[in-house]
Structure 1
Amino acid sequence: MTEQNAPAIVYVSYQGTPQTRFDRDYYVAHHLPLVVRSWQRHGLESASAFFPAVEASGTIAICEIRFRDTAAMEAAFAAPETPAVMADVARFTDVQPDLARAVAL
């Protein structure tokens, strides 16, 4: 399997302190479903949220989004629905998300 045909995984992380505004309930109940609705038709396979077990400065949330392949990821990020996904971030946090693409070793 070539890297182009391998699943594409993107980690979206949010950094802050325990005082940073981050509405977990909104994120799980509204933002992740918006991501799935917006990108599933382009090849999104899953979106999962993770939160640290203990509140401390650093990572306050991580989302793993998995796409069928690189072409699906690129199509989703270029989709007309993507601006609405990105605009929704302001509804649950003031933190800008960091995106990192993971590749299989």
Structure 2
Amino acid sequence: MTRTQDVPVTIYVTYEGAAGAAFDRAYYVEHHLPLVMHHWAQYGLVGVAAFFPAVEQAGTLAICECRFRNAASVDAAFGSPEARAVMADVPHFTDIAPIRVRAVAL
């Protein structure tokens, strides 16, 4: 039997907008995601990945998959002092507000 605290948790961060909305993919991949890993690995973030639509269109412009060790890791990262630096970096690549969704394995 697996204890709830040992179950990995995935958080998807999405950015929704119009086609052509400001979103600097290069900055996001080369600077923001390493910043997130740097600050939150100590709390249990084990990996991040970015996904972009194949064609430019309105809707989802970017998806980030954040994989955490467990639910406590998620709470620790988002409640950490470093969370402020992670969130303060968002305006460097977009003016779109991120949407966070916690995924549950079926």
- TM-score w.r.t. the length of structure 1 is 0.97
| Displacement after TM superposition at 1:17 (Å) | 1.5
Partner of 2:17: 16
| Displacement after TM superposition at 1:77 (Å) | 0.7
Map of 1:23-62 to 2, 5 A cutoff? 23-62=24-63
Partner of 2:6: 5
Partner of 1:72: 73
Which residue identity lines up with residue 60 of structure 1 in the other structure? L
**Structure 2: segments with no counterpart, 5+ residues:** none
| Displacement after TM superposition at 1:19 (Å) | 1.9
Question: How many residues are matched?
Answer: 105
| Displacement after TM superposition at 1:32 (Å) | 0.2
| Displacement after TM superposition at 1:103 (Å) | 0.9
Q: Secondary structure at the match of 1:4?
A: helix
- TM-score w.r.t. the length of structure 2 is 0.96
* 1:27-55 CA distance string (max 9 Å, x none): 00000000000000110000000000111
Q: Which runs of 4+ in 1 moved over 4 A?
A: none
* 1:54-100 CA distance string (max 9 Å, x none): 11100000000000000111111111100010010001000000000
Q: Secondary structure at the match of 1:39?
A: helix
**Structure 1: segments with no counterpart, 5+ residues:** none
| Displacement after TM superposition at 1:3 (Å) | 3.3
Partner of 2:90: 89
Distance in 2 (alpha carbons) for counterparts of 1:4 and 1:102: 15
Identity of aligned residues (%): 55
Q: Secondary structure at the match of 2:4?
A: coil
Contact 2:20 2:56 in 1 (8 A): no
Distance in 2 (alpha carbons) for counterparts of 1:92 and 1:18: 16
